[in-house]
Amino acid sequence: MQIPSLMIAGTHSGVGKTLVTMGLTAALKEKGNSVQVFKVGPDYIDPSHHRTISGRPCFNLDSWMLDRPTLQKIFNKGISGADVGLIEGVMGLYDGFSGKSDEGSSAEIAKLFGVPILLVLDAGALARSAAAIVQGFTQFDPELKFAGVLLNNVGGEKHAAILKEAIESATRVPVIGFIPRDKILEIPERHLGLVPAQERNFQKSVEIMKNFISRYCDVEGILERIRQSNDSLVGAGPCACPQGGHGGPPLRSTDHPVRIAYAWDEAFHFYYQDNLDFLEELGAEMVPFSPIHDHRLPDDIHALYFGGGFPEVYAQALQANISMKESILTHFKQEIPIYAECGGLMYLSEGITDLEGNFYRMAGIIPGKIEMTDRLQDFGYQQGNLLKDSWAGKGDQTFRAHEFHYSTWSGEGISPAHRVQGKNGAPDRTEGYLNSHILASYLHLHFLAVPERARCLIETAKKCKMKNTHGSRSQF
């Protein structure tokens, strides 16, 4: 069975893709549809919005970090049981890893799944020139299918009529609606992107977006065009992934299940849904906890997982929760395996200094301090490997990852975890922190691209549990 799906792509970043995706999701749900949303690329924040609106997990489709069989598996898993699928693109439609190909772009994903594209265009300062832009985008790659154009930031009904006449007279692509210019539609942002859904009056914002989409766009017409254009879409049937796709069959730990506690609250919520799912497939029970609100870690856990997030925004609350930091320190001394990415590294450090010079003490279990900066540090896709064989994997295996942070860490170079390949002629660099049971890093990894990392965490957690079961260490 084919599930009708649509890619919502833009001419460039900031054009309104997320707003359109959120509003369309809510409008389709109101009409009784179960909507599955995906996000192209490595973003964490947009999926949090889509998950909240749709009521279904949002999955990332990153064609630079993941191979095609794995992407197909993720898509099939996510779309199963839905009535319609929406894929929010990344940056501009053709923007990806390289200026020479569509690798890592929204266009590559659209072609992989055969889905039509709804092109979002910021028409705020355009008239007939909008037709030239649409013509260029729709003719640049003849393999792509376009369901229509949605005009954002439009001055009003007359402006919309001029734009529609220009585009539809010069191209075969219909204008299916517009969104008028209105400050009420602006989504608040900060240094890492949009403010997450859990931090604001999100439901009110969604209702406003839904009403704008329903009023100014032909939602039923969009659905019909999706159905007509999805002739080559592979549906939610089984996907035979080769050994390289998922890393082989899951190693379920049914004989020795483990419990992995993962940080989940306002400060920590940057996780790929597939990372959590894959750990569960391998036999882990995933147990959320809050470094802000909980007084201690959950009982009977065998590993800790700290994702990214905004520890710098909640530094005062994290500093104040002394009992949680003491609980983490106790488990650290018991040599429980700890895996931390970006915000997790920041929290495990000695402390964070914000842009105003205020210092906040953190967990203090890895050396060095964090200093916030007013500009991006290392940013974008990265390739690297572990510096040596360790509990976290083999040192000779190259992985792909993503990095995005506005901070520096003074512990850089102390027992580093990774060697990261230099770009554009720059030398390789070392990164992160690694010891006998901790790996903390600024790099975000997708476990389906690096399944060994997840397997090693599970195996180390199992060994930790067995040691405790046999009494060689005190119980946690």
pLDDT tens figures, 373-427: 999 888 899 999 999 999 999 998 899 999 999 999 999 999 999 999 998 889 9
* Domain end among 229, 261, 286: 229
Are residues 416 and 286 part of one domain?
yes
Domain assignment present for 433: yes
| Residue 219 and residue 128 share a domain | yes
Residues 203 and 153 in one domain: yes
Closest CA to 181 of 212, 210, 204: 212
Residue 234, pLDDT score: 43
The region that residue 32 occupies, defined by phi over 0 for left and psi between -120 and 50 for alpha, beta otherwise, is left
* pLDDT for 206: 86
- Domain that includes residue 75, residue range: 5-229
Within this chain, do residues 172 and 267 fall inside the same structural domain, yes or no? no
C-alpha to C-alpha distances, 347 to 264, 306, 374, 466, nearest whole angstrom: 13, 9, 19, 28
Query: Under a CB-based contact definition with an 8 Å cutoff, are residues 262 and 289 in contact?
Result: yes
288 and 425 fall within a common domain: yes
Whether 242 is in a domain gets the answer no
Average pLDDT per consecutive 10 residues, the chain (476 residues; last block may be shorter) = 89 94 96 97 92 96 96 96 97 93 95 96 97 98 96 96 98 94 68 54 82 93 82 41 36 66 96 97 96 97 97 97 98 96 98 97 97 90 96 94 96 96 92 97 97 97 84 42
Q: How many domains does the chain have?
A: 2
CATH code of the domain in which 287 resides: 3.40.50.880
Q: Are residues 213 and 254 in the same domain?
A: no
Helices (H), 156-218: 157-170, 202-216
Q: What is the pLDDT of residues 323-373, one digit of tens each?
A: 999 999 999 999 999 999 999 999 999 999 999 999 999 999 999 999 999
Whether residue 263 is found in the same domain as residue 394? yes
From 177, 200, 229, give the residue that closes a domain.
Answer: 229
Whether residues 387 and 338 fall in one domain = yes
CATH number at residue 120: 3.40.50.300
Q: For the whole model, what pTM was predicted?
A: 0.90
pLDDT at 470: 61
pLDDT value at residue 424: 83
Specify the length of the chain in residues.
Answer: 476
List residues with catalytic annotation: 342
pLDDT for 182 equals 86
Co-location of 120 and 176 in the same domain: yes
Does 475 fall in a domain? no
- The CA distance from 208 to 453, in Å, is 42
